[in-house]
Structures are given as structure tokens and as C-alpha cells.
Amino acid sequence: MQGRSRSTNRTIYISLMILCIVGFWVFENFYTPDKYSAPANEVLTSKVPDKILPASTSGEIVIHSNFILSYKEHYEQSEWVAYVLKRSHLTYDDRERPDYIEDPKVSTKSADWRNYRGSGYDRGHLCPAGDRRFSVYAYNETFYTSNIAPQKNGFNSGIWNELEMKIRRWSKKYGNLYIITGGVLEKGLPTIGEEDVAVPKRYYKIVVRGEGKDIKVLAFLIPHKDTTEPLVNFLVKVDDLEKVTGIDFFSKMDENIESGLEQSIEMEYWNF
């Protein structure tokens, strides 16, 4: 009788162990939070003037509280992310790193973060989490996968991070900056994961400051690799950037101003 009881207990124990293992596997592989909830007093910070916003080649423009993006489903990432960076945004508050989750505002949902697992690529931020430490919600929003693209670690922690830090220093010096950034999405890119997330061969950033005729612009186009070259080596004309991306970057700006901005590199107005 005791032998039968021990056998029954062992069976129950094994069954519970199996259920726990299966439950943990399901949680790890399929569970993801639905979305991040904005507090009632959250202030909209993503207001980028229409004349600064690029055109969307996909028609899928998504507006979040702290950045705006144009999503391209075919590549499972954004062709551009645009946001404003103010001096007041530059805090050093510690934030708990949240989950990467699919963007609920993208009509097809953005790529699952698990596409990156085991790929050898970082989940690289386009709007940097470090630029959004001023509130928990602003920080969390940057972890929507619509704001993420595959990046080699040496690139992500190297030249890309160097440019992000340079932009923060410019914001401290000059005040409000508008940043437009993304990977160059083109035919024939390698992919990762079950959803075929494209891996860009080049990444870009456009930095804008000033108003009207006093507007100043810098554009960078950087190969997706580790490099020790100085940032100035990657400056390009906006015109050239439009040719490689297929994006019209200042389509709503006065044509005379737009033409001047896009056909020159004016690094003398920026402190390198």
C-alpha cells in the first residue's frame, strides 16, 4: 500500500515538474506585454515640425509620445524615426530596463524581439533610450521593436554610440535638436529570425537645429561595421542620402531653403 502511495506521489511530482517546465517555456517564448501605458500627466515630447519630418515611402506613420516613425513591413523595421532632443531631456536618471515588445500602433505589428535571439546582432535603438531617461514612460517607449534594428555590437557600442553622445553634447550647447535616423533599407539585405528582419549595411542620422533661414543641418551615412574613423569622415549631403534611401527628407520645407540645406555640408556651424 505504501509502495503504491509513493508511486502515485512520484507521478504527481513528475507531472508538476513537466507542467512547470512547459509553462516556463511558453512564458519565455510566447508571452510579451501588450503595451506600455502612459501616465495621465505625461507630456507629449515628440512634436517634430511638419517641415522637418521626412516623407513616408510606406504610408505607415506611427506617432508615439516621444518619437515618430515610418514603418516598412517588408523589412520589419522603421525606415526612419524622428524625435526632438531638448536640454531638459538630458538627465542621468537610472531606469529599469523593460521588455522589448511589439508596437501596438503598427498595423501589422512590429517584429517580435525573439527574431534577434541567437542572431549575433544587438537590438539597436534608433531613438536612443539614453535620450529618454527623463521619464519612465519615455524610456520604456524606446523598447518598442519598431524603434529597433539589428546592429553589430562593435558598431552599436562604437561609432553609433559616439555619434549619439556627440548629439547630446550639441543639444547641451545649442538647445533643441531634431533627429531623423534609421538603416538604409534596400533590396538584397541579409535577414535574421523567422520574420526575416533585414540587416542594413548602412545607417544614417540627420541632425537639425534652428528655424527659418537660420536652420542648420548635418547628415551622416555610416557603414554597418566597427570603425575607428572620425565622425567627420561620414558626413554627406542630404541629397546624397536621399539617393541611397529613396526618402524625401524635407519635402514640406520652402524649396529655396530645402535646396540650400540638401546640397551642402556645413560642418563649420557645429562644434566637433
Q: What pLDDT does residue 259 have?
A: 73
Q: Is the dihedral of CA 153, 154, 157, 163 positive or negative?
A: negative
Q: What pLDDT does residue 47 have?
A: 82
Identify whether 125 is a catalytic site residue: yes
Tell me the whole-structure pTM to 2 decimals: 0.86
In whole angstroms, how far apart are CA 250 and each of 206, 247, 260?
11, 9, 11
Q: What pLDDT does residue 31 have?
A: 44
Burial class of residue 70 in the structure, from the number of CB atoms within 10 Å of its CB (0-12 exposed, 13-18 middle, 19+ buried): buried
The Cα 202–Cα 186 span in angstroms is 10
Q: What pLDDT does residue 28 have?
A: 45
Q: What pLDDT does residue 152 have?
A: 98
Q: Which of 64, 74, 89, 125 is catalytic?
A: 125
What is the pLDDT tens value at each position of the chain, 272 positions in all? 555 565 665 665 655 565 555 444 434 444 455 677 677 666 666 689 999 999 999 999 999 999 999 999 999 999 999 999 999 999 989 999 999 999 999 999 999 999 999 999 999 999 999 999 999 999 999 999 999 999 999 999 999 999 999 999 999 999 999 999 999 999 999 999 999 999 999 999 999 999 877 899 999 999 999 999 999 999 999 999 999 999 999 988 877 777 777 788 989 999 98
Q: What pLDDT does residue 252 have?
A: 86
Q: What pLDDT does residue 104 have?
A: 93
Q: What pLDDT does residue 29 have?
A: 44
Quote the Cα angle for 25-27-33, to 5°.
Answer: 155
Residue ranges of domains in the chain, CATH in brackets: 33-269 (3.40.570.10)
